[in-house]
Amino acid sequence: MFDAVFFDMDGTLIDTARDFERAVNGLLAAEQLPLVSLDAIRSRVSHGARALVQLAYGLQEGDNHFAQRLEQLLSAYEQAISADSRLFDGMDQVLDLLDRQHQPWGVVTNKPARFADPIMTALQLDQRAVATICPDHVTLRKPDPEGLLMIAQMAKVDPRRCLYVGDHERDIAAGRNAGMQTACALFGYIDSHDQPDTWQADHLLHTALDLLPLIRKPS
């Protein structure tokens, strides 16, 4: 039984890949460069926008034009940031159950507030979540536990009685560092080279619905 449940955003709570695909391929098409598949983008989203620049242009951070390409991508993404972003299948049922049971939930993400907040608002999640903690609000990003400890304090819950759900090794590490139980979203943006079975998550989720028996209060 958990007093609160917290989520990573991209690849865990919300499927944002199609909006990244539109931004990346819109820029590539404008220059008649080869487009990138949705599957390739899904495998890199959790690594951030810099990884998408590397994927799309073959540039490494520090290369000429890398910073310019990064800003172009972020600008293009921001222009239609929530056009196709949506909750992962089954996640609406998870959030509804948490709300009915009066269990606080929220988001701790490495996505800057500039991008995270508009998505939460567009999906009408901002008023339901106890908070959305972004790098703007902390000194250290995940895997440091600062954001998770902050949101637990805001929710007035003991971190040891919380669950953190994520799709990246740093998410699981952050949850463990905060003293929380952890669940790995295998349905999220898992790279083909990732080995989530070695991340030491307490629970492995094949779909969002696998969360329901973990969070349901006994009748």
Q: Which residues are catalytic?
A: 8, 10
What's the DSSP call for residue 219? -
The pair of structure tokens assigned to 157 is 């819950």
Please list the helix, strand and coil fractions of the chain in percent, rounded to the nearest 5, in that order.
45, 15, 40
> Do residues 82 and 123 touch, judged by C-beta distance below 8 A?
yes
The CA distance from 110 to 113, in Å, is 9
The CA distance from 132 to 117, in Å, is 7
CB neighbour list of residue 32: distance below 8 Å, 6 or more residues apart: none
The helix/strand/coil state of 119 is: helix
CA 217 to chain centroid, in Å, comes to 26
Instruction: Give alpha helix (H) positions in 134-193.
Output: 146-155, 169-177
